Structure 1
Amino acid sequence: MTEGTTARVHEAEALFSQAFGRFQARDDVEAERVLRRALAAAPEHVPSLSLLAQIAGRAGRDAEAVSLLERVIAHGTTAEAAVAGLWLGAAHRRAGRTGAAIAAYRRTVERAEDAGLLNSLGVALKELDDLSGAAASFERAIGLRPGFVDALYNLALARRDEGQTDEAVALLRQVVARAPDLPGARFALCMAHLPPLYVDAAEIDRRRADYAAELDALAAYAERTDVGALAAGVGVSQPFYLAYQGRDDADLQRRYGALVCRAMAAGRPAAPLADPPRPGERLRIGVVCGYLRDHSVWRLPTRGWVEGLDRAQFDLAGFHTGALCDAETDRARGLFERFVQGPLPFETWLARIAEFRPHALIYPEVGMDPMAVRLAALRLAPAQYSSWGHPSTTGLPTIDAYLSSDAMEPGDADAHYTERLIRLPGLSTRFEVPAAPTSASRSALGLPEDAVVYWCGQSLYKYLPVHDGVFAEIAARVPKSRFVFVEFPGSPPLTARFQDRLAVAFAERGLDASNHCAVLPRMTPQDFRAATGCAEVMLDSIGWSGCNSVLDAFAHGVPVITLPGDTLRSRHAAAMLRTVGVEDLVCATSADYVEAAVTLGLDKAARDGLGRRLKAGLGGLAQADAAAALARRLLADAGR
């Protein structure tokens, strides 16, 4: 280093000290001015680059922050590069550029193999459903820093999502022992007992009992410590897969909901609530949802209600707690008089909702979006509703009523809910049938041209092992049958486990499942709809019925065979078929289901006739009075 260079570095260091003082005083404008002088003296002065990147990020100038951090990674020490890599990846992730974050983490790891970087890389990979890559990254982080709790926790979540239930539980017990106050760890331990797939019915019984015991242990822990300490973990892990066991979950959900509401309310003053509406005042209705985009929860039931409610009677606000946006988000934004876009911190959401002073809040789903359950667990409006975006009772005592479909509910459905069940007439909302894209070619999907294709495109966790035999029974009578499934996202081991189940069921009937079953890769929504059109028949999943996917089949004129059960979630397709006047595809027993599948698989004329009837009846799905029925209920509950 020359004498002149040394002098410039000393000048930059002196200026950096001044700038850092202004930064600590929250005077970012002056700090930035001084930092630019420092960088004019020494363009690659790493501390100045790092601090200026923080200021740029705080000001929302993400592109500039990214450029500055890239320079730190290139010119800094190993430790400086590692820190900059963490910041750079975080900046990309905040902007929704997960792929760019992964590239930044990997590039930095080549310079500085750091446990924190590897942990962040694993989190980003998991966001893109690369579970095996994520797990490998977490394991490398733990190898570098044994006992690294964050990486242990994240590895446990990856193993849970891969269906490695016992390993996930063991890892989470380590996490709780090492960091008993880590937000979310105790909830994650509880939910880890609910895997996505089961080998047989006996495993469901065992896992359900383990979950109940862990839930009771968590409630006991909350009683003897500070229940409010659990609040930060609410929503991080939820009992999403409980509903897929095919049982009545009201009691377990009631216990879970009581715990969650106690945790969220502990130490927090009650929120101010709106006064009853004055004569002539419009009812203020807030819709709180993480899926106000091209997602099943927005398409059904939410969009039809938002479009149909009379603005002369209702002032609607949309609180989109999710980060993802698309053309449907723009459509939603235009339908609400007020629209708040996430992601936002929890306290900010509380403030935005309080500013609106809603007379009622509707949560179209509770059980999927982490922020929605945190908000739903508090009393933020005089009346609070959930609905069948996730068709299971919430268990939350803060949710007053559950908005459901009379056509989909069985007669004794009230016992399935901790909320007051409201049976809106018919299908409860307007169903919008999507335009059918051109059907995918069979060759592109790897299917024989002469096969009898049965579309089974539901998420694999909807298929319970007790029903695996129906596919083999159909195959035994339809020799050219092909049952087409879609892989489990991010987890080849889970897909393989499902295929192993089918192999056993087919072998019991002397058949080779590989000759009859195909598993397609994940597809875009448009490609999924196109693939649906190549089928002769759609077999609705037994126990958890399809809904939006049934509409896709209807649009193509593909007959849908269904076997409704005794819960809302098993009866969507049956209600839709009855509405369009094709009740003969609604079966009473599994034997009827098999018989219908065989008949339609072998009789093209019968298929074509049913397809024409389906298309002719689609107008019935419009449910023109659905929003008016909801309006009457909201007004009645508000005392109008």
Structure 2
Amino acid sequence: MPPDPQLAKVDALLSKGALEEANRLLEGMLQAAPAGRDLLIRLADIALVGKRPVAALAYADRLVELDHADNDALFYKAKAELACGNTAAALDLTNALDQRLASRTAPFLLLKGKILAAMDDYQSAGQAFEAALAADSHYAQAYEGLDHVLYRQGDLQQAQAVWKRHTAQTPDSPIAWTKLAEVLSALGETDEAQVCLERAAALDPGNPGTWHALGHVYSECWKFEKAESCLQRAIELDPRREGCKSLLGLIRNELGDTRGALAALNPPGGTGMSFSRCLYHALLLPQIYESREDLYRWRERYSGGLAAMHAALESSSPGPEEVFNLSQTNFLLAYQGRDDLLLHREYARLLRRLIARTRPDLVERDRPSARRGGRIRVAFVSSYFRECTVGHYFRSWIGSLDPSRFESVVIYTGNQPDATTRAITASAENFIIQRGGALKVATTILELQPDILIYPEIGMQSTNCVLANMRLAPVQCAAWGHPVTTGSDLVDYYFTCSRMEPPGSPGHYAESLLELPGLGTKYALPSPVVHKLAPEAFSLPSDRHLYVCPQSLFKIHPDNDRLYLEILAADDKAVIVFFQSEYRRVTQSFLDRIMRAMADRGMPPRNQIKFLPRLSPVLFRSVLALADAVLDTVHWSGGNTSLDALSAGATVVTLPGAFMRGRQSKAMLEILGVPELIADNSEDYVAIALRLAADAQYREAIRQRILANREELFGRSEPLHALALHLERIHASTQ
């Protein structure tokens, strides 16, 4: 029998994705042939693809009426019943089919697996999907079904194995590589996820979703130049991708391209912007300020933007997907050197309003009841439990808790676990990797029912900013991994270091302070501390005075510039050494600011400013050991950087600020018994630095005192004992 030319035309339309046109043609044909089996099957398919389950069920019922013994009719009716949510009816139909089929095909087994998964019978569903793959090892939908049930069971390792099997069998499938990347990313293995997405993009370069996903993974790994390129490609392919535009703006700002960031977030003539993109635009702060006056202008813009977003929320309705995946933080605000309490309170209030729109139960102020009896369950949540300041500072907290009194749980929301992550994993009773947005993390926390919830840092990463404005435990605490208040009414306590706080410090926080002695942690002395190298090993002059500023460039407030210029003006042999940003624009913007300041002072350039690349920890400390003076920054003092310097015996000069974040080095120097390195004012700061550079004997005497007293600073257990006492006391207050 020759093929029907009309059906051939329909099939051609379907192959092109022209579903509506194909549907119209089929409906016309059905009027002429109401008993057309092939027509009804195609119409049911189109209805299912178009998410019109009721229509699909009507077509399937007509198929069954034509022939009750038609297995295809029962198959389509089962699919339609499932799409309508009638899982019991769908299962009855597949069970009936199971008795009638001579052999179970992969599509039938796929359908049965989907029905069982919808009924939360994940074990049986997984068996059905595996059977489908046994029937057809290249059946992509069966892999997706198996992936779904493994995700629901929390077995990401097995899901990873499933997609690795699929990519091995069908290496030319971009979907398989994308799915494998999703699982790897959920496990925190973002380096491997990058490789998979690069493969997917090469196989299907016209897919904007792949470029978007690759840009996102690159951004998580701080590969912002690559991320920018991928996101631009995604937007070229699909200009409507709102998430791409938001992420592109944030990435350009990380690269130091503030103007480009603003343009991406709010292009000329841009309309229909999401609430989150408006928020990112309103609260954007640059990496480097041109001057103190420029800083004040940006701060005023931020304050006005925050008020505008509160007003905009009155007429906006961002959904849960947008709210719980916000990428905004107040990270750069803390480096302005001002009292940020009111701004943090207002931002926290905005987040609570957003959360309350979709999940009001998560912002209820009443504390949930604490568990009665047994050990105190303490949960630590961070994306920075790795080789970084937070990992160095707080790993000892987790490992020090007495297991007879405490149960320590770690929820790691970061990526690329390293040696520090593995050490923390070994010291915790329960270590959970939970990625994928604030709501998923919150759900995990609620399931764990911690007595005390501790965020070692809030403000460095967006997930913790959102979580801090939910009530997830009877007691919720923050610590000084990012030393500034959270502003949240739902964070009860803030762990701080008593020696680092100025008089009147409780007025700087929305939380109640819990003070710890010393460094507040048991910080191990690095090993090896340094390699003994000459200045020439770092392309530094050996016949000049080396003043080294170890801070990241974005942390250097414009008020520091005058101190540098005073040193250069007073010491003809001075060379001030900075460390480059990873991103060229950031370094150039900082250098431009310094050069403008020098020009304003009439100081010609003569190689007084040097930049070193980013170095390994031991080489970084080796440079600091070569310094005649290490220049701590005002308003934001060194934490980990000062500890690196002092571990090497370097002489750190500091001028304490008005807030804890500007007084960490002061506390360290007091503990080490070298208060003469603590300046009273700007003039004193310059004088101390100049004397250290000019008087080698004086500098060496102080250096020897630092080295002799290091045990007073490093490896101290007193803060950990105080931590345990605080935890027991605040837990008792909830009983």
TM value normalised by structure 2? 0.75
State the match for 2:354 in structure 1.
263
- For the 8 Å contact 1:231–1:260, the answer to whether it is kept is no
Distance in 1 (alpha carbons) for counterparts of 2:244 and 2:170: 25
* Other structure's SS at 2:460 match: coil
Matched residue of 2:500: which SS? coil
1:216 aligns with 2:307: yes
Give ranges in structure 1 of 5+ residues lacking alignment.
Answer: 1-13, 40-44
CA shift at 1:145, angstroms?
A: 3.0
Q: Report the alpha carbon displacement of residue 236 of structure 1 after superposing the two structures with TM.
A: 1.8
| CA–CA distance in structure 1, aligned partners of residues 370 and 238 of structure 2 | 57
Tell me which amino acid in the other structure corresponds to 1:133. K
Does the 8 Å contact 1:149/1:175 carry over to 2? Answer: no
- Structure showing greater relative contact order (alpha-carbon pairs closer than 8 Å, 6 or more residues apart): 1
1:504–1:348 CA distance, 2 compared to 1 (3 A): closer
> Deviations along 1:173-230, whole A, 9 cap, x unmatched?
3599655557x434323332x1121111121111111111211121122234447758
Q: Residue 377 of structure 2 aligns to which amino acid in structure 1? A: R
Render the CA deviation track for 1:572-629: whole Å, top value 9, x for unaligned: 0001101110000000111111111111112211111111111122222255432333
Q: How does 1:491-502 map to 2 (within 5 A)?
A: 491-502=583-594
Distance 2:247 2:586 in 1: 19
Q: Which amino acid aligns with 1:35?
A: L
Match of 1:354 among 428, 446, 455: 446
Moved more, 607-616 or 308-317: 308-317
Find the aligned partners of 1:110 and 1:318 in 2 and give their Cα distance. 38
Partners of 2:515 and 2:171 lie apart in 1 by 59
**Distance across 2 between alignment mates of 1:353 and 1:175:** 42
Q: Are 1:117 and 2:210 an aligned pair?
A: yes
Shifted more, 64-73 versus 479-488: the winner is 64-73
Counterpart residue number, 2:575:
482
| Contact persistence 1:153–1:185 (CA under 8 A) | yes
> Does the 8 Å CA contact 1:404/1:421 hold for their aligned counterparts?
yes
Determine the C-alpha separation between the residues in 1 that align with 2:552 and 2:570: 26
SS at match of 2:266: helix
Give the corresponding residue for 1:316: 408
The structure-2 alpha-carbon separation of the partners of 1:291 and 1:135, relative to structure 1 and needing over 3 Å to count, comes to closer
Using a 3 Å threshold, how does the CA distance of structure 1 residues 58 and 612 change in structure 2: closer, same or farther?
farther
Measure how far apart 1:525 and its partner are: 3.1
Residues 518 and 50 of structure 1: is their aligned pair in 2 closer, same or farther, counting only changes over 3 Å? farther
Structure 1 residues 67 and 609: alpha-carbon distance in aligned structure 2, compared to 1, 3 A threshold: same
Which of 1 and 2 has greater Rg?
A: 2
Deviations 1:281-301 (A, max 9, x none): 54333222222233212322x
Tell me what 2:488 maps to. Answer: 396
Structure 2 residue 338 is the aligned partner of structure 1 residue 247: yes
The one of 204, 222, 246 equivalent to 1:153 is: 246
Cross-structure match for 1:546: 638
**Residue of structure 2 in register with 1:535 after alignment:** 627
- Ranges in structure 2 where 5+ consecutive residues have no aligned partner: 1-103, 118-124, 151-157
Change (3 A) 1:21 1:386: same
| CA–CA distance in structure 1, aligned partners of residues 547 and 303 of structure 2 | 37
Deviation at 1:396? 0.6
Name the counterpart of 2:111.
Answer: 21
* Contact 1:503 1:512 (8 Å CA) reproduced: no
What is residue 296 of structure 1 aligned with on the other side?
Answer: 389
- Equivalent pair of 1:234/1:260 in contact (CA under 8 Å): no
User: Is 1:384 equivalent to 2:476 in the alignment?
Assistant: yes
Take 2:260 and 2:458, find their aligned partners in 1: how far apart are those partners?
A: 28
**Distance in 2 separating the partners of 1:345 and 1:545:** 32
Q: What residue number does 2:323 align with? A: 232
Q: Does 1:163 align with 2:256?
A: yes
Q: Note if 1:326 corresponds to 2:418.
A: yes
Structure 1 length-normalised TM: 0.86
Question: Is the contact between residue 294 and residue 327 of structure 1 (CA under 8 Å) also seen in structure 2?
Answer: yes
Provide the C-alpha distance between the structure 2 equivalents of 1:608 and 1:22, rounded to a whole number of angstroms. Answer: 78
Identity in percent: 30
The superposition leaves residues 85-134 of structure 1 with CA deviations (integer Å, 9 ceiling, x where unpaired) of 54354455445554554455445545543233333333333334333333
Cα drift, residue 160 of structure 1: 2.0
Match of 1:329, SS? Answer: helix
Q: Post-superposition shift, 1:371?
A: 2.9
State the 1:58 CA deviation.
6.4
Q: Give the aligned residue type for 1:438.
A: H
SS in 2 for 1:530: helix
1:406 aligns with 2:406: no
Please report how far the alpha carbon of residue 241 of structure 1 lies from its aligned counterpart in structure 2 after TM superposition.
0.5
Shift in CA distance, 514/16, structure 1 to aligned 2, threshold 3 Å:
farther
State the distance in 2 between where 1:103 and 1:211 align: 38
Task: Give the 3-state SS of the residue equivalent to 1:533 in structure 2.
Answer: helix
Work out the CA distance in 1 between the residues paired with 2:199 and 2:375: 55
Aligned to 2:212, the other structure's residue is in SS state helix
Residue matched to 1:68: 166
- Matched to 1:566, the amino acid is A
Does the aligned pair in 2 maintain the 1:73–1:108 contact within 8 Å? Answer: no
Report Cα offsets for 1:211-268 as digits up to 9, x if no partner: 1121112112223444775862465211110111111101111111112123224434
* Aligned-partner SS, 1:523: coil
Paired residues of 1:105 and 1:121 also in contact (CA < 8 A): yes
Aligned to 1:7: none
Query: In the TM superposition, what is the alpha-carbon distance from 1:387 to its structure 2 partner?
Result: 1.6
Number of residue pairs matched by the alignment: 609
Q: For residue 248 of structure 1, give the secondary structure of its aligned residue in structure 2.
A: coil
Single out whichever of 223-232 and 382-391 deviates more from structure 2. 223-232
Instruction: Specify whether residues 56 and 513 from structure 1 end up closer, same or farther in structure 2 by C-alpha distance, changes over 3 A only.
Output: farther
Post-superposition CA distance 1:510-530 (Å, at most 9, x none): 445561222222233344333
